[in-house]
Amino acid sequence: MWHKFHSKTMSLWIPTKKNKVHVKEIKPNSAPATFQKSLRATLIMGQLFSLLPVVGIYGDNAANVRFVRTSWKCLYSLLSFCGQVFMTSMCIYKLACSVTSLKGTTPIIFYGTTCITMMMFFHMAKSWPSLVQHIARTEQLDPLYDKTLAKRCNITCFVVLMLALMEHILSLLSAFAETMICHPNKMFYEGFVKQFYPWVFNFIPYSPVLGGFTQFLHFQSTFIWNFSDLFVICMSYYLTSRLQHINEKLLDAQGKYLPESFWKSTREDYCRATQLVRRVDDVISGIIFISFANNLFFICLQLFNTLEDGIKGTGECSSRTKRTTLLRGYEAASYFLFSLVYLISRSIAVSLIASQVNTASTVPAPVLYDVPSPVYCVEVQRFLDQVNGDTVALSGLQFFSVTRGLLLTVAGTIVTYELVMFQFNSPSDSTPSLTNVTLTTPTPSL
């Protein structure tokens, strides 16, 4: 072992015959925090709505994770994808038969991005078994003892889905209020689905079965829209935890006189962690791109809806003047405001949590600069070159890297496009028919 010599000026590590390094070891009282255990609840929720159709996620053995084309999960994903294509096609057909407007294109973007997201998750499912097995091999070489990792993933999953459910309930409440004003003579459920899904029931005869099927597809779409952000957050939790595991070793060794073998082994651990980040990014970068693009568009849209329809409440089916509904005519305002706050909060959370991967990768640099001169060696220099010479971060299809500065860029983009949207929807171009289309077009919510 290595024994430490104390003096008033320095602390020195002296080798013994065994030629090993004495490092402060943490003896955990629990099992390692594996990738399979940490993300299990999140992935199960995703598979409930036809995403990531792989088998073996319920167990702890990475070798059992497989992509089987003939499994019921793949069949469920295929049927769900066909349903989303049906919704997208009906939205496009309705737009072709009516006056084009900003809000008229919203359902096409919503269901279209749902189809793209489902295709990306299906494509990712093919690479998922090899990714999980690569992570398992990394965990065998350097186990991760983070007792809070699984808890953070599960709590985030619960909070995101509960807030999304509240948003969905408010959207339904707003649609119910509009139905009572616009379709007072029709059966309540029939009037509701015709008001909420005009792109379907303006061209296809109403039936309760089709109404329920359409509602399920919309609910599935809104879940997928929320799940993309949740998935990125949980993956970022795991990657950040792996990098922080190495940073803890380095911070404990800061300023100490350690041999070259210590820096070599720590550099190799850091190299494995950064390679894991790149491997994960190759698999999920498409999901990151669609997540940020969706958030950017719908924040602009909901901000516009809040200022136009929510505050003014001048729509053709507005119940604010009659005040006969549950929220006295403020259902649309409540929904748009809550949805806007939720969207902004969720987008900020995704940006900041995903950027922590990049932040954690830069922590070793100050520690390496603080290595005492007597023990400065080629391994420390190689470590420094690796930390400073490469950007370790998640990305959106390599178009952008998720860093802390990205949040300010997105905020500036939102302000710019919001001004464009107000100019595009100036009062001189508004007509009663367009206002009606605006109110009857549901925005995504769970």
Residue 54 lies in a domain: yes
Measured CA to CA, the distance from residue 225 to residue 68 in angstroms comes to 25
Structure tokens at 258: 């350690």
DSSP 3-state of 268: helix
Give the 3-state secondary structure of 294-328: HHHHHHHHHHHHHHHHHHHCCCCCCCCCCCCCCCC
pLDDT band at 74 (very low <50, low <70, confident <90, very high): very high
Q: What is the pLDDT of residue 23?
A: 47
Lowest-pLDDT choice from 125-134, 192-201, 322-331, 383-392: 322-331
Residue 356 lies in a domain: yes
Residue 357 lies in a domain: yes
Structural domain including 261 reads: 36-440
Percentage of the chain with pLDDT > 90? Answer: 44
pLDDT tens digits for range 146-172:
889 999 999 999 999 999 999 988 888
- Please state, rounded to an integer, the average pLDDT across all residues of the chain: 81
Residue 28 lies in a domain: no
Residue 15 lies in a domain: no
Output the CA torsion 188→191→197→199 (10° steps).
160
pTM of the predicted model, to two decimals? 0.84
Measured CA to CA, the distance from residue 316 to residue 318 in angstroms comes to 6
Under 8 Å between Cβ of 296 and 147? no
Residue 13 lies in a domain: no
Q: What is the pLDDT of residue 326?
A: 58
Own/partner pairs for 383-390, CB < 8 Å, 24+ apart? 383/263, 383/266, 383/267, 383/270, 386/267, 386/270, 386/271, 386/274, 387/270, 387/361, 387/362, 390/274
Q: What is the pLDDT of residue 145?
A: 85
Q: How many helices (H) and strands (E) does the chain have?
A: 15, 2
Closest Cα partner for 167 from 128, 210, 218? 218
The alpha carbons of the chain give a radius of gyration, in whole angstroms, of: 27
DSSP state of 6: E
Query: In 97-148, which ranges are continuous DSSP H helix?
Result: 106-141
Helix (H) or strand (E) holding 52: none
Closest Cα partner for 111 from 93, 129, 136, 85? 85
- Residue 394: partners with Cβ closer than 8 Å, 6 or more residues away: 232, 235, 236, 239, 277, 280, 281, 284, 285, 288, 354, 357, 358, 401, 402
Measured CA to CA, the distance from residue 233 to residue 352 in angstroms comes to 9
pLDDT tens digits for range 98-122:
766 666 788 889 999 999 999 999 9
Measured CA to CA, the distance from residue 217 to residue 362 in angstroms comes to 43
| Structural domain total, the chain | 1
How far is the CA of 362 from the CAs of 89, 205, 240, 349, 352, in angstroms?
47, 60, 12, 20, 15
pLDDT tens digits for range 269-327:
999 999 999 999 999 999 999 999 999 888 888 887 777 655 555 455 555 555 545 56
Closest Cα partner for 113 from 281, 278, 229? 229
Residue 230 lies in a domain: yes
Under 8 Å between Cβ of 38 and 153? yes
Exposure string over 135-168, b if 16+ CB within 10 A, otherwise e: bbebbeebebebeebbebbbebbeebbebbbebb
Residue 3 lies in a domain: no
Measured CA to CA, the distance from residue 352 to residue 356 in angstroms comes to 6
Measured CA to CA, the distance from residue 219 to residue 226 in angstroms comes to 11
pLDDT tens digits for range 12-54:
444 443 334 444 444 455 677 889 999 999 999 999 989 999 9
